[in-house]
Structure 1
Amino acid sequence: MTAMNLAYLLSKSAAAYPDHRAIVYGEKTLTFRQLDDRVNQLAAVLKANLSPGDRVAIFSPNRPEILEVMFAVWKAGLVVVPLNFRLHENEVLYILNHSDVAAFFYDGVYQEQVKGMKGNLSASLCICFDQEYENLLGQGKNGVEMAAVNGDDLAWLFYTSGTTGRPKGAMLTHRNLLLMVLSLCTDLYSFSHSDIGLHAAPLSHGSGLYALPLIARGGTQVILESSNFKPERVFELIEKHQVSVLPFLAPTIVKRLTDSVTKKQYKLDSLACILYGGAPMYVEDLKAAIHSFGPIFAQVYGQGECPMTITGLSREQHLLENIEVLSSAGTARTGVEIAIFNPQGNKLPVGQTGEVAVKGDLVMKGYWNDPPATEKAIKNGWLLTGDVGNIDGKGFLYILDRTKDMIISGGNNIYPREVEEVLLQHPYIDELSVFGIPDQEWGEAVCAAIVIKEGQNLSDLEIKEYCKAHLASYKKPSTIHFVETLPKNAYGKIMKKELRAHYSKNFSL
């Protein structure tokens, strides 16, 4: 069925809005007709050189060619493997070989790294995004027939960030991603032909998934041309292009936009929605963002294994009088069911805490070439997320932490996020991470790494006294480290594993 093929989203919009702007990148503009033509040319070349189901990798900072390759891959009946451009060379090589890619497209800035990889790659095509890429397009003919696919055919290998080991490739099907598009438009933001979205996050990750509803509805996509994120550049593009949507920003980026002193220099009233997710959004940071930008935020809670689509918190629910709701991840999205399970695999009643699980056609097919990991993650149709949480009587999901991040001290379960939420209310704390370190007496002790706001001072004693006034005694940090920055992975998430390892290294039983 060609209508099940994700490439159909582009073909449909190209027919309906041929002269409408599809992509804006610096001074470069592509209409939907031009984008569709280039995709057809590339799809013809890929079809002639590769076999159905082959994997095609992309390694590049944000640029229009990423979207061209993605849709050409789908049109040719292939599978896309986008790689975060911030990954280390060794991580890139591992993913390329693990997914056994047949073709590899990359940005010219990685020319030297790719030269070193080529002897270890099985890819028959290695194409640089320069004249080599344009020459390849010139070999293709327009009007290539779209590959017929089933809903269960693979479309995207979404590699996890690998903070707990080797990254795993979540197998996302055409059905998964088509349902994701419908769910996003139904539950969180009704993308339209008049929308202008700005990609300020990597297209290889969440922002790239948001390209799909924008393409499907004939909207315009502005691509931030620099790999170095600067709030003032984002504001400049919002004002210049009258951007209406900022799709999928990590909470750390939302905080940087909120805290930027340059914001007041720009006219940003075209913004209708800022979608965020991918990591915990602390209530104090969210309140500050709403005060700064207005109630235009929508939250998505999902994983690479169920992209963008487990629960959501709509713009209407982001009202400052709903403080408790702001600490939630929202309610179950259209087409999914959520539940809480205990370690024995039994479903828990309302209000009880356990592991969050999700079920529905939006859940991945499994992990690429990893049956043991698939069997561990999916039980009786339920995807076990690895997150600890509970669901209240109104259906709102509250995420407490990752199961691996929970601290057990003296037999008590301590959720770092609860401690972090309290500490972030202190006016001098800018950013922090709470985690467990070994303790001879209690098994684990609560440790905090804290970044203080510029120009302020805090002592261990002041932090502990603040916690004493707001937290149960066993939850307050026993060890505090003041740091200039916190380690983050390629997706902007704080690496608690690295912090635990660093501050536990001198411990011995």
Structure 2
Amino acid sequence: MNTFAFLEKAARQRPDAPALVQGDEVVSYREFHDRALAVGGNLLALGLGAGDRVAFCLANSPRIMEVIYGCFAAGLIVVPVNARLHAREIAYIVGNSGARVLIHGAEYQDGIIENETLFEGVTRFCTEPAAGANPLDDLYDPARALTAGVEAKPEDLCWLFYTSGTTGKPKGAMWNHRMVRCVIMNYLADLHNIQPGEMVLHCAPMSHGSGIIALPTVARGAVNAIMDSASFDVDALLATVERLKVSHIAFMAPTQIVKMLEEYVPGRHDISSLKAICYGGAPIYVDQLRKAVETFGSIFVQLYGQGESPITITGMSARLHQELLDAGDARIGSAGQIRTDVEAHCVDADDNPLPPGEVGEVVARGDVVMPGYWANPEATAEALRGGWLHTGDVGYFDERGFLFLLDRAKDMVISGGNNVYPREVEEVIILHPRVANCVVFGIPDEYWGEAVHAVVVPKPGETLTAREIIDFCGEYMAGYKKPKAVDFVAELPVSGYGKILRREVRDRYWEGHASRIGGGAGAKVVQG
């Protein structure tokens, strides 16, 4: 079954109903269906064939959904790129995936031109007239539109989700049609049962978690409403909830929930239509969660997953949130229970299953787990050894199957719901001509959960400022990856093999904190 069939069915059943909404733009299901077929047909007319990759880097808009479903319809593999990445980072993903086409917003044009050698051989389409790029409107020419979606087998790839690895180089988690279908059905079954016509609002990047939740929205013939503000604006969000009678906010990082609590003005907007807010991707303090439930009602839904098993390993429904809070149950500090059609447990260093209460690495399996990483058999073998996805997260399951996350086997930092790997930041800092050495890690931060922090060793006789290091990083990478603070030292501790002892340095900043993932001393945290 081709995932495009979900859109095809929705367009047949609800042709004139709104499918995609942003500001004053309303795209009906008939129009969405026809535009996706046009995108698919025009991509094939370029000479692309089944299994070819098409990358996009776009700010949130209906165009994202049209491109995704256009690729599904044509049997192509879509490669969403985080819209916050630097042009060089975009180029790496385009090159690694072998994407023949890049669809991008006009805001990326200058960066692409500055690094144009990295994009050689790639056909580009831009949302506005731009040198070296075709107009995006060319992909909507109805003369070359497909008449229907192509046939697809369950194991055919349809999506490459790029997620960083321990080396800092992004890896493409391969998703096939069976996997995407299972993610869709699991979300509807376990987290929020979206209904036809329901208004689902997106205020987080649709290249990631929010865009994944857009898929079950389409499957149910509901409305994907998209915020048109460039940054997260609480008043604009709640005004949109009131205007559109939004019932479900697709995905929020905990930092957005905290900001919403800080800026919420009771009575300013009628948000009584709101029935569910899905959150994940980073820690949230239990006290903050409790206050959110008290303020907005029992509407919060938690998910835990990763790109290799998108949004689907464990979860906690709105009902379960309320039950645990009412009972004063410590399980509110967990990452929820194993999802319906997923298997998961913890293993020791030799991959032996551990009983409830014993700490080890979280592993999972099921049709929601990727078949592997794109063009990376070594990483695939490591991540999927023994037939289980090794998440790199350390924790334990209790006797009722609630997952408590304690640490990360890998060094990834989750800051405001964004994944940052220290190695990729270090590789940039070390390029600075006055830097001798450095180490990067996450430190506790009440707002961000974790903040990216750098400890730098200047070269002998050189002096540096934190601002110089932060600005230098900004020339090479997305803003959210830059250190939020920098300390300077004369030397870093190293092992007998000369390896920097990252944890020894990092642990000094975590003294008095309950876990390595976030939270103040003695505080419970919820992992998303």
> 1:164: how far off?
5.4
Aligned to 2:237: 234
Aligned to 2:27: 30
Partners of 2:203 and 2:367 in 1: CA distance: 29
Partners of 1:191 and 1:447 in 2: CA distance: 36
> Is the 2:309–2:368 contact (alpha carbons within 8 Å) kept by the matching residues of 1?
yes
Give per-residue Cα distances to partners, 1:229-283, cap 9 Å, x unaligned: 1111111110110000001211111111122144541111100000111122221
TM (normalized to structure 1)?
A: 0.80
Cα distance change of structure 1 residues 248 and 164 upon mapping to structure 2, 3 Å threshold: farther
Partners of 2:392 and 2:409 in 1: CA distance: 5
> 1:58: how far off?
0.7
Aligned to 2:88: 90
Aligned to 1:346: 352
Q: Match of 1:248, SS?
A: strand
> 1:373: how far off?
0.9
> 1:37: how far off?
1.1
| 2:356 counterpart of 1:359 | no
TM (normalized to structure 2)?
A: 0.77
Higher mean Cα deviation, 281-290 or 267-276?
281-290
Identity of aligned residues (%): 38
Aligned equivalent of 1:304, options 304, 307, 315: 307
> Is the 1:250–1:492 contact (alpha carbons within 8 Å) kept by the matching residues of 2?
no
| 2:330 counterpart of 1:327 | no
Partners of 2:443 and 2:125 in 1: CA distance: 46
Q: Match of 1:43, SS?
A: helix
Structure 1 unaligned blocks of 5 or more: 407-415, 418-434, 436-445, 454-484
Aligned to 1:462: none
| 2:151 counterpart of 1:154 | no
> Is the 2:87–2:108 contact (alpha carbons within 8 Å) kept by the matching residues of 1?
no
Give per-residue Cα distances to partners, 1:181-217, cap 9 Å, x unaligned: 0000011111111310111000100011011001010
Partners of 1:247 and 1:490 in 2: CA distance: 27
Higher mean Cα deviation, 45-54 or 255-264?
255-264
Cα distance change of structure 1 residues 139 and 200 upon mapping to structure 2, 3 Å threshold: same
Partners of 2:389 and 2:241 in 1: CA distance: 38
> Is the 1:65–1:129 contact (alpha carbons within 8 Å) kept by the matching residues of 2?
no
> Is the 2:43–2:139 contact (alpha carbons within 8 Å) kept by the matching residues of 1?
no
> Is the 2:361–2:409 contact (alpha carbons within 8 Å) kept by the matching residues of 1?
yes
> Is the 1:198–1:243 contact (alpha carbons within 8 Å) kept by the matching residues of 2?
yes
Cα distance change of structure 1 residues 40 and 101 upon mapping to structure 2, 3 Å threshold: same
Higher mean Cα deviation, 156-165 or 56-65?
156-165
| 2:95 counterpart of 1:100 | no
Structure 1 segments (4+ residues) deviating >3 Å: 116-119, 139-143, 161-164, 261-264, 446-453, 487-493, 497-509
Aligned to 1:280: 283
Cα distance change of structure 1 residues 269 and 492 upon mapping to structure 2, 3 Å threshold: farther
| 2:257 counterpart of 1:254 | yes
The code of the aligned residue for 1:267 comes to D
Give per-residue Cα distances to partners, 1:138-174, cap 9 Å, x unaligned: 2544452311111111111101146851111111111
Aligned to 1:422: none
Between the two proteins, the alignment pairs up a number of residues equal to 439
Partners of 1:251 and 1:381 in 2: CA distance: 32
Higher mean Cα deviation, 25-34 or 319-328?
319-328
Structure 2 unaligned blocks of 5 or more: 130-134, 415-421, 423-440, 449-469, 495-528
> 1:137: how far off?
1.2
> 1:324: how far off?
1.3
> Is the 1:43–1:144 contact (alpha carbons within 8 Å) kept by the matching residues of 2?
no
> Is the 1:22–1:31 contact (alpha carbons within 8 Å) kept by the matching residues of 2?
yes
Aligned to 1:112: 110
Q: Match of 1:321, SS?
A: helix
Q: Match of 2:393, SS?
A: strand
> 1:343: how far off?
0.8
Cα distance change of structure 1 residues 308 and 229 upon mapping to structure 2, 3 Å threshold: same
C-alpha RMSD of the superposition: 3.1
Cα distance change of structure 1 residues 89 and 447 upon mapping to structure 2, 3 Å threshold: closer
Q: Match of 1:265, SS?
A: coil
